[in-house]
């Protein structure tokens, strides 16, 4: 059974989250719509970014799109600069890290991270998400790009999902702009996605693991991993599917793996865990349904919506085309069975899809701020890092899309 601390925190969390969900449900529709969107709620505890290497990781915030609130927080581990390479960085007057142009820099894979919160809360800049992403950046030795997607109900489906794929496209554009810079082209190029120039941390340290010869020149292929937490796992899975469909249109970026942590999956026909654990800790079934009502447009509300149920018939592309996928589930999470079923279906078509099932654990046990320092949360992050390194350390590995 979960500890007494976890049970007490669950009571507080459910009270606060139900109050938020009910308040949003009762808000008049005319006051909900906001095309620009919001990426956090007033009650959220926000961690300030710090471009110096505090606790081994430097962070910075950037706006990914001038026409919406979509934002990014970049986490750069100090292993990118503390290497055998000669001094290749400088500390500017404001105390932040800036790569020196014209020098060699250590390259790291990029991981896009999508936070949880039932599509209606959470933030890529929250204290809990900031701590989690710092841990993952250090353990996996990757650049983490935490995506501040637009929340519901101000932005309904497919807003958050489209934001996720826009960031993957933005990453591909940044990679191409960086290549142009290395080939001697003008660095100060205005990017139509919202960046007026190459993002310097990604340009200097974004992975360049392979080189493809094209008729127009030389292009680096960058390894990218997707990581989604709770509702963020649904977004990650959508982005992975879109990446498969896009194929070479995303060059030079290649999604080589995805990590689904406690996916926010549900369906019209209840599973065993959805019946047995309907009133369990943290997110219960009633709260989950309210979140989906706030996220999906009224005319599209259906628990078998493709965004909610990964196993509905007709979803594209075929599962055999999906990248390697590790799934994390918890014993006391009512959504666990559908995530397990999805993992099993991936394995049936020979996708590397291991399952990590944690005893006595609850939904988001490895990512909630109050639980981040527990031994189980730290062990989960380490387990995930061991698996993902198989794919981010490979050279020339390619999947058939």
Residue numbers annotated as active site: 230, 333, 363
Can you state the angle between helices 285-295 and 4-26, rounded to 10 degrees?
30
Rounded Cα gap, residues 303 and 309, in angstroms: 7
Q: Take residue 116 and report the two structure tokens written for it.
A: 């949880």
Tell me how far the alpha carbon of residue 230 is from its chain's centroid: 10
Rounded Cα gap, residues 49 and 372, in angstroms: 19
Rounded Cα gap, residues 303 and 289, in angstroms: 8
Phi and psi angles of residue 77, each rounded to the nearest 5 degrees, phi first: -70, 150
Q: Which residues contact 382 (CB under 8 A, 6 or more apart)?
A: 139
Using DSSP's 3-state secondary structure scheme, residue 197 falls into coil
Q: Which residues pair with 328 in a beta bridge?
A: 261, 356
Rounded Cα gap, residues 11 and 211, in angstroms: 52
Rounded Cα gap, residues 69 and 35, in angstroms: 9
Rounded Cα gap, residues 188 and 308, in angstroms: 41
């Amino acid at each position: 059974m979960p500890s007494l601390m976890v049970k007490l925190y669950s009571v507080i969390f459910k009270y606060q989250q139900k109050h938020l969900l009910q308040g949003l449900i009762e808000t008049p529709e005319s006051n909900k719509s906001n095309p620009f969107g919001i990426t956090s709620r007033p009650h959220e505890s926000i961690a300030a970014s710090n471009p110096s290497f505090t606790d081994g990781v430097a962070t910075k915030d950037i706006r990914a799109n001038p026409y919406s609130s979509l934002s990014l927080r970049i986490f750069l581990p100090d292993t990118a600069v503390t290497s055998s390479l000669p001094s290749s960085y400088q500390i500017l007057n404001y105390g932040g890290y800036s790569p020196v142009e014209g020098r060699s820099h250590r390259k790291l894979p990029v991981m896009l991270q999508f936070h949880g919160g039932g599509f209606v809360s959470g933030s890529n800049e929250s204290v809990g998400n900031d701590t989690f992403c710092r841990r993952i950046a250090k353990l996996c030795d990757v650049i983490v790009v935490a995506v501040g997607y637009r929340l519901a109900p101000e932005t309904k489906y497919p807003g958050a999902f489209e934001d996720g794929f826009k960031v993957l496209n933005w990453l591909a554009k940044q990679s191409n702009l960086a290549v142009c810079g290395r080939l001697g082209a003008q660095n100060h190029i205005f990017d139509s996605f919202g960046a007026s120039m190459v993002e310097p941390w990604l340009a200097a340290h974004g992975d360049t693991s392979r080189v493809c010869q094209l008729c127009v020149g030389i292009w680096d292929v960058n390894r990218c991993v997707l990581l989604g937490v709770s509702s963020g796992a649904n977004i990650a899975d959508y982005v992975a599917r879109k990446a498969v469909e896009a194929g070479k249109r995303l060059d030079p970026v290649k999604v080589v793996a995805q990590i689904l942590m406690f996916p926010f999956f549900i369906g019209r026909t209840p599973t065993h865990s959805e019946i047995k654990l309907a009133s369990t800790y943290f997110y219960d079934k009633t709260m989950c349904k309210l979140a989906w009502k706030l996220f999906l447009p009224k005319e599209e509300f259906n628990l078998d919506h493709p965004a909610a149920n990964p196993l509905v018939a007709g979803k594209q592309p075929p599962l055999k085309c999906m990248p390697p996928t590790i799934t994390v589930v918890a014993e006391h999470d009512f959504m666990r069975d559908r995530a397990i079923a999805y993992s099993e279906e991936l394995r049936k078509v020979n996708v590397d899809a291991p399952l990590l099932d944690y005893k006595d654990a609850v939904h988001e046990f490895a990512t909630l701020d109050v639980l981040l320092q527990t031994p189980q949360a730290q062990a989960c992050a380490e387990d995930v890092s061991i698996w993902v390194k198989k794919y981010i350390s490979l050279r020339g590995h390619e999947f058939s899309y």
